[in-house]
Structure 1
């Protein structure tokens, strides 16, 4: 991969990635505020300013590394917005909405980027910078949404599942949270996650293409 191609990849993915991770986290904070927890609000994390959400490793190092390795897409994450679930008016039920707000924000952004892609296509801009950026926006948001909905704590999907389970089962399930990221890393390294997650990502992207682009 040439230097020019690396720069193009970074340029195309930078804005969609920043929007994706920033609004994902801000959505968590806003939902938490609506359901009674002011932690993120007090700390100034309900913001669309990317600087308030940047994680040096997840927002800068990982995306740059993926660009240099020519992975075909760029992925990353931001600092998690702090949420004190004990402050929610109905912690077990409200946790579902707070956790689901992030992936929901990514779905909305994926749809908006798909609309941008359709407009660009109508204007004869297939293959242009804006077309490539719109496609990158769809990819990044769908990947973030599907990945975060995996039913494994501390991911959003894990919190949604914990909120849906009966209290006793939810308490037992919550015990895996300290080991959740290690389990996730193991699934990624061994390749066990790929055949599970990529068909879902492809299905969602095809759905967006059919509904909004073609």
Structure 2
């Protein structure tokens, strides 16, 4: 039986949770805010344009955090009928989420560099504040890059599907986006194939990109 509340597990949660929570909340708020700027009041009317994590947490996504150390938030509702140009509106709304994650990864990387190049004497303050802050920032870079890259995969309902749909002919885009209802099943299927075959298509695509992006930010993960 897994011990989800052992000292080691609690330490992992404490390191991962801040970066992941910030990543998920800001990702969804970015979607809703850009949609609001483009004329869609849906997210605002439902109280989703807030950094209050309670408004965004998904029960299953929260449980997944304890099981697999990753999770997801409730998608912000978007109504493209409010956009003057629905196709372009969905494109801009889609890229806002991953875009914010890449920005957050850069901010966490900046914190790491500041801590690295600032001389701290060995002390209780260093052990209880500086070292945890470094580890949290390192995890923040990782989870934000993972979330940003993963969401750009062109698999409905991920953000990358709306990006690809923008460049497809309208009829083909409509058929493609109709896969939305099967998107979760498709994602699970890809993950399961990786588990049984020993070759993870998602891992083969995502992790090299994440490591490359982290390297550009000067961070080793």
TM-score normalised over the length of structure 1: 0.89
Q: Deviations over 1:100-127 (max 9, x none)?
A: 1000010110000000111111224698
Q: Report if aligned partners of 1:188, 1:194 keep a CA contact under 8 Å in 2.
A: no
User: For 1:99-138, what aligned pairs fall within 5 Å after superposition?
Assistant: 99-124=94-119, 128-138=131-141
Aligned to 1:193: 202
Moved more, 33-42 or 180-189: 180-189
In 2, Cα distance between the equivalents of 1:47 and 1:130?
A: 25
Q: Could you list the structure 1 runs, at least 4 aligned residues long, displaced by more than 3 angstroms after superposition.
A: 124-127
Aligned to 1:206: 215
Q: Deviations over 1:20-44 (max 9, x none)?
A: 0000000000000011110001001
Aligned: 1:21 with 2:16? no
Structure 1 residue 172 displacement after superposition: 2.1
In 2, Cα distance between the equivalents of 1:147 and 1:93?
A: 21
Structure 1 residue 193 displacement after superposition: 2.0
Aligned: 1:85 with 2:80? yes
Q: Give the total of aligned pairs.
A: 203
Pick aligned residue for 1:95 from 90, 105, 111 = 90
Higher Cα radius of gyration = 2
TM-score normalised over the length of structure 2: 0.87
Structure 1 residue 203 displacement after superposition: 1.3
Structure 1 residue 175 displacement after superposition: 2.2
CA spacing shift, 1:124–1:62, aligned 2, 3 Å: farther
Structure 1 residue 46 displacement after superposition: 0.6
Aligned: 1:140 with 2:143? yes
Pick aligned residue for 1:161 from 149, 164, 167 = 164
